[in-house]
Structure 1
Amino acid sequence: MSHLNTTTLSKLPARTASNALYSADAVRAIDQYVIEQHGIPGFELMQRAAASAFRQLVRQWSEATPVLVLCGGGNNGGDGYLIAAAAHRHGLDVRCIACKAPADLKGDAAGAYQKAKADGVKIDRWDALAERDRNDALISAGLVVDAMLGTGVNGAPREPFKSAITACNGLTCPVMAVDIPSGLDATTGAVSGVALKASLTVTFIAQKSGLFLAQGPEFAGQVVFEDLDLDIDRLDHGQVPVAQRFSWATVSCDIPLRPVTAHKGRFGHVLVIAGDSGYGGAGLLAAEAASRSGAGLVSLATRPDYVAPALTRCPSLMVRGVNHSSEVAALIEAADTLVCGPGIGQSAWGQQMLQQVVLSGKKRVLDADALNLMSKQASVVASSHVLTPHPGEAARLLDCTVADVETDRLAAADRLQKKFGGVILLKGAGTVIADGETGPWVLDGGNPGMATGGMGDALSGIIGALLGQGLAPCKAACLATALHLAAANLASERLGYMALLPQDVIEAMAGLLAAAERPGEREVG
């Protein structure tokens, strides 16, 4: 068994404004709190937001001209008018198109419109322009600023916003979104109807969870956070984040290091039970990934046909061919941590393997066909497991549709955790990790090259290895997911996305782990 100090290996990153994610309602409440309790006028906040956005505009696209700002109503539209005013004062060729009639603007948004108009910004109304003139304005733009729909908008965009969004998505010039891309749900990252695809999104006050969940990463592009000098971590605003964002950069320092007296018995024995007939590669990928992630010993229980290929590929593995559940009982007894599911199929063989794993009560990672089998029959609910479903598997476990899962990934992960206990790792764009206590956690970033068979098998192996080394289940899931993605990003720099394979990711992990190791500084033991 592992003898690592699990107290130091269970801590997760502290919640700060730089990684806390809030719902749209919470951000609006924080905004109102700042105005009412700290005496900062709403128009001043709007000016700060516009100044921050304009700085990013100049930093990213100093040569882009002309600048076209599309303005809606409310504070988002007000931000747009003030951005246009700033651009005009700095001598840029800028033009506004009002998608919301200026006469209907109220409060700070109306004041922003009046300022832009007084500063000499050219402002046209969308509905007053002929279609040809609107198209000419869009096509000739060197940069488009999206200030149409803010965080308070729900449901599919209506006209004229629908047409404006669709037209922007057909442009070749960059698009900067103000606070949130128009049409994107600021809380869930879901898109109803259409949403604007931004090159960059400048978001204010607090980070919105929808920018990092579901379709958020695709539509938001690069996200830049500006706190408008509010430092909300120090404010007693009373709002609780809906999730915590993390990346390899924020958790890599928590990789367990090895003392000089290290030996293999201190870093866990992982047993991978995987690979029914026709799916031998799944078990090998999981086992090899576990070996590359620091496990002291790794065993693989698979169909006898795959013993020789597995040893040829990875001779450090202890491989056992098994045809019946009775043959795996002793292997389970000898292991610290179990990984079950990749390629086990849904026949009697897979059912027997899963039953033995669940009855053992040992720490375990359940993935792939283990989850599909669980969706068809009652399974033991326990706190000692990590479940790693993709949206399809999650939908089967929850008896709902994939669309239901993707519409609100945080809610889906929470439902899975309440139903099955333990730690839930909901894979996909904006990976969510929920443990019912410290989370949920959202992985920052994504890589389209990972959309290929075997990636999830490798991830399961990494989680199993970290569990075996003494990390708490939630910490193991967070570290493994971040390492997996970072390695995929690193490998894709050399291979691109289309050619990326799971074994490329496993190989790339070595360099990342080597960089994270600082001998003598954080000795564990």
Structure 2
Amino acid sequence: MPLFSATSLTDSLYSADSVRAIDRYVIDKLGIPGFDLMQRAASAAFRQLVKRWPGHQRLLVLCGGGNNGGDGYLVAANAKRHGLDVACVALSSPDKLTGDAATAYRKALTDGVRVSEWISLPQDEQGALFENASLLVDAMLGTGVTGAPREPYATAISGCNHSGLPTIAIDVPSGLDATTGAAAGDVVRAALTVTFIARKAGLYTGQGPEFCGRIEFESLGVAAADTDRSGESPIAGKFDWQDLSAAVPRRPVTAHKGRFGKLLIVAGDRGFGGAGLLAAEAAARTGVGLVSLATRPEHVGPALARCPSVMVHGVTHSSELTPLIDAADTLVCGPGIGRGAWGQQMLQRVVTETKRLVLDADALNLMSLRVPVKSDNHILTPHPGEAARLLGVTVADIEADRMTSAQEVQRLFGGTVLLKGAGTVIAASGQRPMVLAGSNPGMATGGMGDVLSGMIGALLAQGMAPAMAASMAAALHLSAADRASLSKGFMGLLPTDVIDCVPAILGQAEGLVPGGAI
């Protein structure tokens, strides 16, 4: 079941097991021979290779022992027929190949491809393979592999990554878990991954965005309806800002501030005053009608100087929150509240409400003590460390399967959960998770989460359902960061740079700002 109504614009993500079952359905039920599919995959990969790197003439194709290796042999055959200089290396003895992979190997030999066996090459000759190439083709380990790669694959993967050469991965970078995106050992760092039949979930979350590079999907002529008829259910959906931008609400000419929500942000203990201000300013830039900020009294002056449109209130005790909560319809709590007495009493007061609620940062750390939440419309926005504390596990456990982790947090704490990180995951009860495609390394700095919580609160206050508010805010947040990075770079990116880019992106979605890079 979808998290939001725009699922016709989103793509389904499948587990590795399901993709193999779909592949078998296409062969057995639709009558498309497996070798025909393999040829289509190789042709699609070679086409993408030439499109991306038209000037490269010296290919090193590394082939494994299964069907992924068969794809590689046919890529090598394609390259040879087109006059490229091809070195093809078998990581597993071709004598062990069976079925379509064996047929592909024989086809490559027929087309003039010379295949060397990795294990028979001296170490210096193995190194020379990379030195003599200008482009690498990774067809070593496919979707059926889990755990850390063993030899000789581990050495070959290391050779790829240390060569400095661009690499195209066939279906999935070798060493990456195609279901979870986990990396138990070395993984080929691809510049381009061409994936087939159905999209694999692990390419879009966990370590997937780190190792896949650009992802190109090739259906190989298998229609989405045929994928559905296979009986295999997706484990998640994929979306980005382009998918959701059409859902940005259009404002009538008679609009007034009372129609777009009243948001209260409870944030900013001593030493963390900026957290609340970032959340409040981001919320104001995301269209909420009225924004109030409850923070430590010493932060009132700086907050008003930075963002005078925000109504700032100094509070020292939770009892002072009551009139502010009564005046609001949506609450955000957590940015910079700390884990001391002030933050604890603020959280304890907020969670007694049934209003729409966003809980972030130290609110989540305090919730790891199992603070009950009364609202059914709450959104939790943990990063992996906070999710680990909520579940009583390690960060490595969270990252080993981000979709399952997000669902487990949701099961224990209710509401909607947004697990931050590359390939942000959004989970709600009884619904399949959604994965935000893309990542931006410039967002790895303090305050970015505060901006996101303010944006989520703003959309929630404007009447969006929790899952849609979380999804749209996350996509908008990433899109604004991508735009800001064009002028600020990654290392110099600040949360305020992201906030500054939000109005133009929203304006473009509203049809008011000319299109451009997002």
- Per the TM superposition, whether the score is higher than 0.5 is yes
**Mapping of residues 97-246 of structure 1, within 5 Å:** 97-235=89-227, 236-246=229-239
Deviations 1:317-341 (A, max 9, x none): 1111000011111100110100000
For each residue in 1:464-501, what CA deviation from the matched residue of structure 2 results, as whole angstroms up to 9, or x when unmatched? 00001010000000000000000000000000011100
Distance in 2 (CA, whole Å) between partners of 1:449 and 1:23 is: 29
Distance 2:207 2:131 in 1: 26
- 1:124-178 CA distances to partner (integer Å, 9 max, x unpaired)? 1101111111111111111010000000011111111010001110011110000
Distance of 1:390 and 1:127 partners within structure 2: 43
Contact 2:353–2:375 (CA<8 Å) still a contact in 1?
Answer: no
Q: Tell me the amino acid that sits aligned with residue 398 of structure 2.
A: V
Question: Following the alignment from structure 1 to structure 2, what is the Cα–Cα distance between the partners of residues 270 and 399?
Answer: 32
Q: Deviations over 1:97-121 (max 9, x none)?
A: 0001000000000000001011110
Partner of 1:72: 64
Report 1:71-470 matches (<5 A): 71-235=63-227, 236-380=229-373, 382-470=375-463
d(CA) in 1 for partners of 2:199, 2:370: 40
Cα pair 1:383 1:423 within 8 Å, conserved = no
Q: CA deviation at 1:19?
A: 1.4
Query: Do structure 1's residue 492 and structure 2's residue 485 form an aligned pair?
Result: yes
- Deviation at 1:381? 5.7
In the alignment, structure 1 residue 26 sits paired with structure 2 residue 26: no
State the Cα deviation string for residues 191-246 of structure 1 (Å, max 9, x = none). Answer: 11111100100000001001011111111111000000111334411111111111
Structure 2: distance between partners of 1:224 and 1:45: 17
Aligned residues of 2:59 and 2:85 also touching (Cα < 8 A): yes
Q: Distance in 2 between matches of 1:264 and 1:439?
A: 35
Distance 1:347 1:187 in 2: 40
State the Cα deviation string for residues 388-421 of structure 1 (Å, max 9, x = none): 0000000000000000000000000010111111
Alpha-carbon distance between aligned partners in 1 of 2:114 and 2:403, rounded to the nearest angstrom: 43
Note the residue ranges of structure 2 that are not aligned, 5 or more in a row.
Answer: 513-518
- Given that residues 71 and 98 in structure 1 are in contact (C-alpha distance below 8 angstroms), is that contact kept between their aligned partners in structure 2? yes
**SS of residue paired to 2:195:** strand
Q: Is the 8 A contact 1:265 1:296 kept in 2?
A: yes
What SS class does the counterpart of residue 413 from structure 1 fall into?
A: helix
Task: Check conservation: 1:382, 1:420, Cα contact below 8 A.
Answer: no
Aligned residue type for 1:43: F
Deviations 1:371-392 (A, max 9, x none): 0111124323642100000000
8 Å CA contact retained: 2:199, 2:217: yes
Indicate if the aligned counterparts of 1:303 and 1:321 stay in contact, CA closer than 8 A. Answer: yes
* Matched residue, 1:507: 500
Superposition RMSD in Å: 1.1
Letter in 2 for 1:375: S
Structure 1 unpaired stretches of 5+:
1-9, 520-525
Match of 1:54 in 2: 46
- The amino acid across from 1:192 in the alignment is A
Secondary structure (helix, strand or coil) at the match of 1:181 reads: coil
Partner in structure 1 of residue 515 of structure 2: none
The TM-score, its normalising length taken from structure 2, stands at: 0.97
Deviation at 1:63, TM superposition (A): 1.1
Write the distance in 2 (CA, Å) between the matches of 1:354 and 1:365: 11
1:382–1:421 contact (8 Å) kept in structure 2: no
**Where has structure 1 moved over 4 Å in runs of 4 or more?**
none
Q: Give the structure-1-normalised TM-score.
A: 0.96
SS at match of 1:233: helix
> How far is the alpha carbon of 1:15 from its aligned partner?
5.0
Instruction: Give distance in 2, aligned partners of 1:27 and 1:357.
Output: 45
Give secondary structure in 1 for the equivalent of 2:181. Answer: coil
Partners in 2 of 1:120 and 1:343 — Cα distance? 65
Shift of 1:11: 3.9
Identity of aligned residues (%): 61
Distance 2:72 2:491 in 1: 38
Secondary structure of the equivalent of 2:338? coil
Helix, strand or coil for the counterpart of 1:442?
Answer: strand
Letter of the structure 1 residue corresponding to residue 49 of structure 2: L
Over residues 448-470 of structure 1, what are the superposed CA-to-partner deviations in whole Å (9 max), with x where a residue is unaligned?
00000000001000000000101
| Map of 1:6 onto structure 2 | none
Q: Could you tell me how far apart the structure 2 residues matched to 1:384 and 1:356 are?
A: 16
Give the Cα–Cα distance (whole angstroms) in 2 for the partners of residues 233 and 385 of structure 1: 35
- AA aligned to 2:436 is L
